[in-house]
Amino acid sequence: MSIRNEKITGIIRDLAARFLEEENNGSSLITVTSVELSKDAKYATILFTVFPDSHQKTALEFAKRKRSDFKKYVRDNSTLGRIPLFDFAIDFGEKNRQKIDGLLNQ
């Protein structure tokens, strides 16, 4: 990944974390874990985890509903020239890592 794309990824990750914290109703904890940016920086998928797990589906639906609001938020709160199209997804890799860590610590 180029240095430019790494900077874009970092900006999007920070903005996504702030946006989801501000927009969330507090029924669950949403943590942005990473951002996958396409090579041409036209598409970005924001990966996050949800606690408690029982709220994953609701949180994902909420995030997907807020995609256009998030794009406006990025436009208003960053100096990025071209804003990518956003999508949100649950970070199951991080969930699996946490389960493995829990098993290893027992």
Ordered by start, the domain boundaries in the chain are 3-104
Give the single-character DSSP code of 39: T
Q: Which CATH superfamily is domain 3-104 in?
A: K homology (KH) domain (3.30.300.20)
Residue-level pLDDT at 79: 93
Among 28, 8, 27, 4, residue whose Cα is nearest residue 16: 8
Asked if residue 74 lies in contact with residue 12, where contact means CB atoms within 8 angstroms, the answer is: yes
- Which regions of the chain are under pLDDT 70? 1, 95
